[in-house]
A and B are shown apart, each in its own frame.
Chain A
Amino acid sequence: DQQVKQNSPSLSVQEGRISILNCDYTNSMFDYFLWYKKYPAEGPTFLISISSIKDKNEDGRFTVFLNKSAKHLSLHIVPSQPGDSAVYFCAASGGSQGNLIFGKGTKLSVKP
């Protein structure tokens, strides 16, 4: 059973607009959440994270929001740029999980 779910396999956005990628989780023991970005033929690279004691973390154009009651987090990218086109993975850890649990990813395409 999937503990981290990314229900949108793909998202297309116009350059300059906001991209919103969503992620849901089922394990209430998760206390640390990360977003990774992956280009073809490369390994995932860390983008931004958030601890469960916060509800928002911002880093430049990237902001992650956490809603613990809804077990939902989202990644906002604004403004979106063509170089942001990649697959974005949501991941979580905590509780008895010593490792990171990943979602299936959302492929973002930013059109010029």
Chain B
Amino acid sequence: GAGVSQSPRYKVAKRGQDVALRCDPISGHVSLFWYQQALGQGPEFLTYFQNEAQLDKSGLPSDRFFAERPEGSVSTLKIQRTQQEDSAVYLCASSVYRDATGELFFGEGSRLTVL
């Protein structure tokens, strides 16, 4: 596709449920980033990949959060045993550069609501 595609756009989960959020980056983009945006806040960094290598996962808030990009293209962010504080918009971005020294292209986000 022409842009970064994320699915699902909206997800409602019961507390304790596992969720998986998918990101399909722009074809050929080397870097892929995940951000969490709470209401009224700026995007907060979670993790980033250079091809299939996860180079930085320092922003993942707990060991319930896990991300992968096994073939260096599509990425999945998995949240286990969801809690109410996980409610946020999860943004994926990709870049032709090896890190964030250039423009990041964002998807529309996946809005997660945990009840």
Contacts and interface: CB of A to CB of B under 8 A. Distances in A.
Interface of A: 4, 6, 32, 34, 36, 41-46, 49, 89, 93-94, 97-105
Contacts of A102: 35, 42-44
Nearest to A49: B103
Interface of B: 4, 33, 35, 40-45, 48, 55-56, 59, 91, 93, 99-101, 103-109
B113 to A, nearest CB: 14
Contacts of A46: 103-105
Give the one of B56, B100, B105 with max A CB within 10 A.
B100
A39 to B, nearest CB: 10
Contact of A100 (B33, B40, B55, B107): B33
Contacts of A104: 40-42
Given A44-B91, A46-B105, A93-B100, 17 more contacts: A6-B42, A36-B106, A43-B108, A44-B106, A45-B106, A89-B42, A94-B101, A97-B100, A98-B48, A98-B99, A99-B48, A99-B59, A100-B104, A101-B45, A102-B35, A102-B44, A105-B41
A40 to B, nearest CB: 11
A94 to B, nearest CB: 8
Given A49-B103, A99-B56, A99-B99, A41 B45 contact: no
Contact of A41 (B55, B59, B108): B108
26 contacts: A4-B42, A6-B42, A32-B101, A43-B91, A43-B93, A43-B107, A44-B43, A44-B91, A46-B103, A46-B104, A93-B99, A93-B100, A97-B100, A98-B56, A99-B33, A99-B59, A99-B99, A100-B45, A100-B100, A100-B104, A102-B35, A102-B42, A104-B40, A104-B42, A105-B41, A105-B42
Q: Which 6 A-B pairs have the closest CB atoms?
A: A43-B106, A102-B42, A98-B99, A93-B100, A100-B100, A104-B42
Contact of A89 (B43, B101, B108): B43
Contact of A99 (B4, B41, B45, B105): B45
A98 B104 CA distance: 12
